[in-house]
Structure 1
Amino acid sequence: MISFNLKCSRGHRFEGWFSSSDDYQHQCDKGLVTCPICDDSVISKALMTPNVAAKSNAKAEQAQALTPVPAPATASVPALTPKPAPTPMQHMPTPEQQEAMAEAYRVVRSFQSKVEAECDYVGDKFAEEARKIHYGEVEPRGIYGQSSPDDATALEEEGISIASIPWLPPEN
């Protein structure tokens, strides 16, 4: 397994584990790697510090680790440099943020269920079907599906109201 420090296009940082570098790239290309904070699928590797183990110094490090360290002469001598204050992990959401995200997912999931129950799925024929409804070629009904950004712009320019909504994958 290999661990990568990752970041989304919105600046959130998180860690991901993959079986190989190729596995990471394959999953990213398929859109399977998403930000756990905002669900963004535009992910890149963040700068990381390598963990390098060299055989030449392994025995010296082991011997040094086993060498007893003498106790300080006096316990009252203050350190010359103060320890830096611990910094919060910026990439980890707080419990409040996690609850807010969970609530947002519940709202989106509820809305998604309502759309699925009350509208017809037209897939990538969304723009075509929206035009037919708008121009009275077919009976008006609620539809949902996908369209390209260019098709969405063209629909709006024709005066056809559409809305882009987040769509969550099915729950397991």
Structure 2
Amino acid sequence: MIKFSLRCADGHDFESWFQSTEAFDTLKAGGHLVCAVCGGTDVEKAVMAPRLGTARAPVQEGKAGPLSAPASPAEQALAALKAHVEANSDYVGMEFAREARAIHEGTAPERPIYGEARTEEARRLIEDGVPVAPLPFRPGRKSN
């Protein structure tokens, strides 16, 4: 696996993992690369700096080092949105479709909720006029 820094035609920077350089080239040629910020399809590899570690301080994935770039404004905004949703809404897990419908019909107390739904369940909610929207992140907590 290889992680590439990418940039879209609108100047949005983001990263993505690929099986190989050839896999990146195949996806790009097929028009399957999409900007993680705006959805644009004109995506190129950005200039990348190598990630080097020393015997004293090896690079650990997911941990910022002294040479790490700060999070982009888009990443910061997404993190803030996720924190706001998780702090101000009830996580209802896979019961999202049932709970959203009950709130819409007035049989459950009105409150902000978030959770997970199958594509067909979400489609039915939208068709029935239940106000729902997909979130651009996965919930940070799961219920068993």
**Superposition TM-score tier, normalisation by shorter sequence:** 0.5 to 0.7
Q: Which runs of 5+ in 1 are unaligned?
A: 14-35, 49-89
Q: Secondary structure at the match of 2:82?
A: helix
1:5-24 aligned within 5 A: none
1:145 aligns with 2:124: no
Task: Encode CA deviations 1:118-137: one digit per residue, 9 max, x unaligned.
Answer: 11000111101101101111
1:47 aligns with 2:26: no
Question: How many angstroms does 1:91 deviate by?
Answer: 1.8
Quick check: which has more Rg, 1 or 2?
Answer: 1
8 A Cα contact 1:37 1:93, kept in partner: no
Question: How many angstroms does 1:165 deviate by?
Answer: 1.5
Which of 127, 131, 134 in structure 1 is aligned with 2:104?
Answer: 134
8 A Cα contact 2:92 2:115, kept in partner: yes
8 A Cα contact 1:109 1:168, kept in partner: no
Q: Distance in 2 between matches of 1:169 and 1:143?
A: 12
8 A Cα contact 1:127 1:155, kept in partner: yes
Q: Distance in 1 between matches of 2:115 and 2:77?
A: 19
TM-score of the superposed pair, with normalisation by structure 2 = 0.53
The structure with the greater share of residues assigned to helix is 1
Partner of 1:37: 14
1:160 aligns with 2:130: yes
Change beyond 3 A, Cα 1:154–1:116? same
Change beyond 3 A, Cα 1:107–1:153? same
Question: How many angstroms does 1:37 deviate by?
Answer: 2.1
Aligned-pair identity in percent equals: 30
Q: Secondary structure at the match of 2:85?
A: helix
Change beyond 3 A, Cα 1:115–1:157? same
Question: How many angstroms does 1:112 deviate by?
Answer: 1.0
TM-score of the superposed pair, with normalisation by structure 1 = 0.45
Q: Secondary structure at the match of 1:165?
A: coil
Aligned pair count reads: 95
Runs (4+) off by over 4 Å: 4-7
Task: Encode CA deviations 1:101-131: one digit per residue, 9 max, x unaligned.
Answer: 6111111111111111111000111101101
Amino acid at match of 1:92: A
